Structure 1
């Protein structure tokens, strides 16, 4: 019987790392497209191309950071030093992304490319280690689940805080000037993020690394990846989840601004996503009783039901139904996203059972899914808006209104169904047979 290896200060510090990243990340996923089109001054087509280029870069970045982690030799371990080295550049690029320079259209476009691409790289550099470090903190399966839940509870809490309070803070700091308001808001969030990331570096510790397995050739690692079926399946699910999230979140402000004609409703709508915390808190017991696969399938089903209710509310133009759908959808999303890092940790341990400890590469699937999913979501949203004739800060034509409705209601519902079907192929029984003998609950 193994004792639990982590104490509460370390558990909270680990969880707060995700809270730190989400202070900036949620601003990017929910408001950056709106900032670019309605505040910064980019056209929807220019924003769409920017998101495509950024996501192409992210494909390589996730793999690069994963390789960097697996090749790191330091007195602090493999993943932990990334919190120290890259926190400050991450925050600086986050702030620069929301600066509106006094340039012409070409200069502003170049600025947007440089800052957004830099932000994407440094986000990966501070976020990927949160996942890769988890299986090195403890070998206790239930303790890893608890750590994953703490992480997601902290991360989801901050996501909700940012979603609800960003626009009021922009109004407070900007006094009618949204350029100033967004900049001062990201400076506040960035300062808090920096302190929390460095706090994680000082309080978490890598305990379980096998030197013989942790620095293998790329040929050996790639062979393991092809045999790691659970990792392949969860990678696709993660990508689809973030694609769904990006399409829905980025369209929220457009829906309430141009369809409901009330931008002030956005914080209220986002406030109902607080229910995601309910889903996160359900994970510990439900994963123990049903298994992680069935728990995530239940989360996807609940999220899809909530999205269907939201769609009915959109069609009927009934706000209480829309808000009810958001709440139910959020519970399901909490179950899904709360299990992601935990299930990736399982695939890392499965890889170790196959003879390779490559937590950097295997964990990179999380950031790969986040970056590519968000990028494709931004591309789809901005691209469809451009094709339909979107005009910033004007009444929208019927085609654009239909595109907004499609993105906000129906595309996410379809993606949840695809996600559910793919997860059915996840072979949890084989995975558990490989990793369980080395882990015993206390």
Structure 2
């Protein structure tokens, strides 16, 4: 049996090799195949395909996000309480991969029930999918600081993860509607189902591949299973963790609002739903942002790299605003191009900076990678839920009617969602990240 290396023990050597790095990165690609279907198209699917009202969907999203708040913490506790020959995080890829894919497919099945039956089915499948998504996604973040103790290697692993995650995000955004058309032949119900089955099968293979190839190497059994009371006390003193947690929530809030509004903007404001894949194709520049992380962090701190990403995303959003109100599609696409570079930098750093806060927690005598990593899924779930609530709620208040010409109030609400709310959120993110005390972390984990 190989000896366990204590977390926090100085060890600058690199631990992973490329097959493991690629397999780790593909775990995020696997989850994003389904996740991006949810964030980008599920609201549209529920209102315009399945036939639920925006108000009913808004309530569903609220209920789901309340459940997800508890689920993120529960899965985190489950990870920290796990004793297995595979480690604490790694076995979750094996245990939950199949149920996750099954519920993803069930979510896009449209049974011929009464309206109440349809709503009940949506609650059952969507709530189940939310729990299982957390069960396969949270371990991606919690396992990272146990794979290596080399800071540059952790940055590389985080970049690889986000590169594949962003790549799949772009693939889903660009190819979902064409695949829906291909599988459905004019029937969007059949088209969405065929598309999610394809994505689900690929996702299952990639999640299991991650389980086979990744390893947990660095652990301290003396502090790896601390009582909740000790973990909570550490979290209160972990100021960088609190700041990055708030930033994650804000990022996913703005992402949800923009992604969910995109198809409505092009369908009802631009009058051309077929432009959605073209608009989404410009988000490929998020990959540029992700790849820039390794270069920028050679000379800049992770905090300042994150702030530069937020500023870039804000500038891109300003350009989007000009494109919307000047009705210039080229300017709009240019704004998406710039905005996506900034978003790539931001999201690429998230798991890396969480890993730093986990290692900082170890320096305080508590190894709780499961609970601390749950902030990532907590931010995702709450951000998406609030984003869906805001979008669906504003549409309902403005008098939105699916598949009809929209009134002036609804058009205004679409523009507010697509332009102004994201601008405000990016500004708030900037001021929040300025509170991040990176020196506080480095003084502890580098010693």
- Scaled by the length of structure 1, what TM-score is found? 0.98
- Indicate whether 1:354 and 2:364 are aligned: yes
- Indicate whether 1:190 and 2:200 are aligned: yes
In 1, Cα distance between equivalents of 2:399 and 2:12: 61
- Indicate whether 1:41 and 2:51 are aligned: yes
Q: How does 1:91-102 map to 2 (within 5 A)?
A: 91-102=101-112
CA apart distance, 1:169: 0.3
> Over aligned residues, Cα RMSD in angstroms?
0.5
Q: How does 1:306-385 map to 2 (within 5 A)?
A: 306-385=316-395
- Indicate whether 1:202 and 2:212 are aligned: yes
Among 15, 21, 38, the alignment partner of 1:28 is: 38
CA apart distance, 1:337: 0.1
- Indicate whether 1:69 and 2:69 are aligned: no
CA apart distance, 1:312: 1.0
In 1, Cα distance between equivalents of 2:389 and 2:160: 32
In 2, Cα distance between equivalents of 1:199 and 1:157: 18
In 2, Cα distance between equivalents of 1:288 and 1:36: 45
- Indicate whether 1:259 and 2:281 are aligned: no
State the match for 2:123 in structure 1: 113
CA apart distance, 1:288: 2.4
CA apart distance, 1:287: 1.4
Among 392, 415, 426, the alignment partner of 1:416 is: 426
Among 245, 254, 257, the alignment partner of 1:235 is: 245
State the match for 2:437 in structure 1: 427
User: Which secondary structure does the structure 1 equivalent of 2:60 belong to?
Assistant: helix
- Indicate whether 1:129 and 2:176 are aligned: no
In 2, Cα distance between equivalents of 1:360 and 1:288: 29
State the match for 1:7 in structure 2: 17
CA apart distance, 1:436: 1.4
- Indicate whether 1:215 and 2:219 are aligned: no
User: Which secondary structure does the structure 2 equivalent of 1:396 belong to?
Assistant: coil
State the match for 1:56 in structure 2: 66
State the match for 1:440 in structure 2: none
CA apart distance, 1:285: 1.7
CA apart distance, 1:408: 0.5
User: Which secondary structure does the structure 1 equivalent of 2:110 belong to?
Assistant: coil
User: Which secondary structure does the structure 2 equivalent of 1:74 belong to?
Assistant: coil
User: Which secondary structure does the structure 2 equivalent of 1:289 belong to?
Assistant: coil
- Indicate whether 1:89 and 2:99 are aligned: yes
State the match for 2:279 in structure 1: 269
In 2, Cα distance between equivalents of 1:70 and 1:285: 34
How many residues align? The count is 437
CA apart distance, 1:43: 0.2
- Scaled by the length of structure 2, what TM-score is found? 0.97
* Runs of 4+ with >3 A deviation: none
In 2, Cα distance between equivalents of 1:288 and 1:383: 44
CA apart distance, 1:2: 3.1
CA apart distance, 1:343: 0.1
In 1, Cα distance between equivalents of 2:297 and 2:367: 25
Q: How does 1:169-188 map to 2 (within 5 A)?
A: 169-188=179-198
Gaps of 5+ in 1: 438-442
In 2, Cα distance between equivalents of 1:273 and 1:210: 41
Among 147, 153, 159, the alignment partner of 2:157 is: 147
In 2, Cα distance between equivalents of 1:362 and 1:314: 40
CA apart distance, 1:3: 2.2
